[in-house]
Amino acid sequence: MSHPPRLSPAARRWPAAVLVVLFALAASLLPRVSAAAPRFAMALRAGTPGVGLDLDWGLSRQWGVRLGYSGFGINHSLSTSDVDYHGRLKLGIASALLDWYPFRGVFHLTAGVAYDGTKLDVVGQPAQGAYTLNGNTYTTQQIGSLTGEAKFAHAVGPYVGFGWGNPAGRSGRVHFLFDIGAIYGGAPQVTLTAQCGPAAPPGSPLCAAAQSDLRAERQRLQHKLDVLGWYPVVNLGIAVRF
């Protein structure tokens, strides 16, 4: 089995520090919110986080709060130089966001926190009855199965973005929405597991060699995913104000 590298203490503290700053900013701004009764809306959104619902509170003409969840599942193929994988991408993102409407219109800046349970499960596909790992070929009798998982280093991270549309706006009951942003989750961490088959039983030199080649394969897969430290968010939606 190949395990992801451990994050340094500084890397683990970085997202937490950002979240503290965001909460402090929200706490300093909320006292300025109008004492008028809040307006509520429900929004249906679809985009890179999947399909989901938001509950929106219009606190004033300049401030709004929303809680949402989006999810989806899709099959996705992934290849390195040696192995083809069949994957299942599972999206699951919950968020708590603060919207600021600086011009008291539909344009807004957004900051908040998101729980990102997105992960990719993969199964290695043998080519002509064999796997190639790190340039070495193993039959399906030597490696019985090859599976893996990739998920973000941090399940909870900050969200920043901007967009157009005020779900709980004063003008009309139906509003169209568009948002662009990103969630920081850290570079996805990859695990790979190979089960040695009857022709290379656990503890044998051939099984040990396969596990060593598997670690090199994990590094290749990790390198392909290192660019995804920020998960992009682009979505469209429609909201109904109550």
Residue-wise pLDDT tens digits, 43-53 = 999 999 999 99
Please, what sign has the CA dihedral across residues 39, 44, 45, 50?
positive
pLDDT at 53: 96
Please tell me whether the overall predicted TM-score, pTM, comes out greater than 0.95 for this model. no
Residue 21 reports pLDDT greater than 90: no
Domains of the chain plus CATH, in order, are 9-241 (2.40.160.170)
Residue 68 reports pLDDT greater than 90: yes
Per-residue pLDDT, averaged over 201-225, amounts to 89
Per-residue pLDDT, averaged over 92-120, amounts to 94
pLDDT at 170: 74
